[in-house]
Amino acid sequence: NTKITQSPRYLILGRANKSLECEQHLGHNAMYWYKQSAEKPPELMFLYNLKQLIRNETVPSRFIPECPDSSKLLLHISAVDPEDSAVYFCASSQVGTENNERLFFGHGTKLSVL
């Protein structure tokens, strides 16, 4: 899947700061960050629609999203905690086109916290 690219693919951290990056090449107007812990479904962390943050789930304040333009999404993480070990997926959709709207996922960033 090259339509939504995420970097890095794998990340191993101690208590450090790091940013995850995502770019979508689908022309979508909504982008999402999902967290998927082992053996669990994806959980929504943040949602941007037309670059405006309109859904902000109750995630720890050490996670800060940023949407520099409609095709890019960042997730800044400061002082990670072992409970943050998971796969972080970026996703996008075209809202406002109801019949055609569907959620597309990137390949994810696997974060392992030491």
Partner 1 sequence: GEQVEQRPPHLSVREGDSAVIICTYTDPNSYYFFWYKQEPGAGLQLLMKVFSSTEINEGQGFTVLLNKKDKQLSLNLTAAHPGDSAVYFCAVRPIVNTGNYKYVFGAGTRLKVIA
Instruction: Work out whether 102 is an interface residue with partner 1 (CB under 8 A).
Output: yes
Instruction: Work out whether 94 is an interface residue with partner 1 (CB under 8 A).
Output: no
Instruction: Work out whether 30 is an interface residue with partner 1 (CB under 8 A).
Output: yes
Instruction: Work out whether 55 is an interface residue with partner 1 (CB under 8 A).
Output: yes
Instruction: Work out whether 108 is an interface residue with partner 1 (CB under 8 A).
Output: yes
Instruction: Work out whether 1 is an interface residue with partner 1 (CB under 8 A).
Output: yes
Q: How far is CA 70 from CA 24, 49, 54, 82, in A?
A: 9, 8, 14, 31
DSSP annotation of 104 reads: E
- The phi and psi torsions of 9 (rounded to 5 degrees) equal -80, -40
d(CA 113, CA 18) in angstroms, rounded, equals: 12
Q: What does the binding site for partner 1 look like in residue numbers (CB under 8 A)? A: 1, 4, 30, 39-42, 44, 47, 49, 54-55, 89, 93, 95-96, 98-99, 101-108
